[in-house]
């Protein structure tokens, strides 16, 4: 399909509407969950007992997939639950929707309202449209390449736009991290050590950064949204998938954030299909002209991966 055949404005409007409709279905699923509390929406597990999936995840993905097939029958589709069901779709240059019907499934099961639907769209392997909708908080984060990032389609992101906040050092940051679903000794030890260095006091802990704090909100897509908004300073995760981050990548970038590849290396399109993700919010240029916002982002990334040590080699 030639580039000129894809009307990105139309795809964007379609995607915003689709995410809102999906959000309604997530709320319906949640209402069912609370009225049948004993079954907690019958969560099933995938690779292990903490990798949860519910009937609502599957129903919402089926709804999104069908809606896309009706409107854009030629576009490709990559979705978390379709993948879990054995569907393997490579990322190509073709227009492709990359979807997580519910990001934050563990929160959904527990009734914690950091839950969203995340719909990304790539063209020529680059994420160009992203919509993330949290129906519990009625917050919709959206972006189309070159057109800015928005909260509820009216408030430009970051929330301080047009003046991103400064960030003097990693020690001043609130950092999004997650526990993920791989709880093997090797992984949990590495994560634990890294989180100890990020949170710990350097007077007693070797390499301790003593950052303002660490947060685990349980949704990669919402981590990206909060970085885009400027409410989280950065977010790091190894182990999530393209459907967790595709939409968020567009939203964070359009809000002036910078995404990185593995170990803080420059981002390449192939990184989307990997499992190493790192994003830093928009940062103000130094008032004295000594550093641009992007140089500050790179400096924070270096500080972060120095603290991460061997974790992301």
Q: Which residues are catalytic?
A: 80, 100, 102-103, 105, 244
* Shortest Å, Cβ 207 to Ca ion: 34
**Nearest residue to ligand IPD, by Cβ distance, number only:** 178
x/- map, 149-178, ligand IPD, by CB under 6 A: -----------------------------x
86 beta partners: none
User: Can residue 100 be called a binding residue for Ca ion (CB under 5 A)?
Assistant: yes
x/- map, 86-115, ligand IPD, by CB under 6 A: --------------x--xxx----------
Applying CB under 6 A, among 143, 167, 232, 240 the residue interacting with ligand IPD is 240
Measured CA to CA in angstroms, residue 274 lies from 70, 177, 250, 310 at distances of 29, 17, 16, 18
Binds 178, which of ligand IPD, Ca ion, none (CB < 5 to 8 A, cut-off by type)?
ligand IPD
Nearer to ligand IPD by Cβ, of 103 and 233: the residue is 103
Q: Torsion over CA of 296, 297, 303 and 307, rounded to 10 degrees? A: 160
* Shortest Å, Cβ 274 to ligand IPD: 13
Span near ligand IPD by CB under 6 A; candidates 65-73, 158-166, 238-246, 296-304: 238-246
Applying CB under 6 A, among 130, 218, 230, 256 the residue interacting with ligand IPD is 218
Nearer to Ca ion by Cβ, of 244 and 298: the residue is 244
Q: Is 103 labeled as ligand-binding?
A: yes
User: Can residue 220 be called a binding residue for ligand IPD (CB under 6 A)?
Assistant: yes
Nearer to Ca ion by Cβ, of 80 and 233: the residue is 80
Q: Is 98 labeled as ligand-binding?
A: no
Residues 45-64 that bind ligand IPD (CB under 6 A): none
Interface residues with ligand IPD (CB under 6 A)? 80, 100, 103-105, 178, 180, 218-220, 237, 239-240, 244
Interface residues with Ca ion (CB under 5 A)? 80, 100, 102
């Amino acid at each position: 399909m030639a580039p000129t055949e894809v009307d990105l404005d139309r795809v964007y409007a379609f995607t915003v509407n689709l995410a809102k409709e999906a959000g309604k279905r997530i709320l319906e699923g949640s209402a069912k969950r609370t009225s049948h509390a004993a079954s907690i929406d019958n969560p099933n597990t995938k690779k292990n007992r903490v990798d949860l999936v519910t009937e609502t995840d599957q129903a919402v993905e089926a709804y999104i997939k069908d809606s896309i097939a009706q409107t854009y029958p030629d576009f490709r589709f990559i979705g978390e639950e379709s993948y879990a069901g054995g569907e393997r779709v490579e990322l190509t240059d073709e227009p492709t929707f990359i979807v997580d019907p519910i990001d934050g499934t563990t929160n959904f099961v527990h009734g914690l309202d950091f839950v969203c639907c995340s719909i990304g769209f790539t063209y020529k392997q680059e994420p160009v449209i992203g919509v993330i909708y949290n129906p519990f908080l009625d917050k919709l984060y959206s972006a189309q390449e070159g057109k800015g990032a928005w909260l509820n389609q009216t408030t430009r992101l970051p929330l301080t736009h047009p003046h991103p906040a400064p960030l003097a050092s990693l020690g001043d940051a609130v950092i999004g991290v997650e526990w993920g679903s791989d709880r093997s000794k090797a992984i949990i030890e590495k994560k634990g050590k890294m989180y100890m260095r990020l949170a710990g006091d350097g007077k007693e802990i070797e390499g301790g950064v003593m950052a303002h704090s660490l947060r685990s909100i349980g949704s990669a897509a919402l981590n990206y949204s909060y970085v885009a908004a400027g409410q989280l300073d950065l977010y790091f995760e190894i182990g999530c998938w393209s459907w967790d981050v595709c939409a968020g990548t567009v939203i964070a970038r359009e809000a002036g954030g910078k995404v990185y590849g593995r170990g803080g290396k420059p981002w390449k399109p192939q990184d989307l299909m990997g499992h190493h993700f790192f994003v830093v919010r928009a940062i103000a240029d130094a008032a004295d002209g000594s550093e641009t916002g992007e140089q500050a982002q790179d400096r924070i990334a270096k500080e972060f991966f120095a603290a991460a040590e061997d974790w992301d080699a």
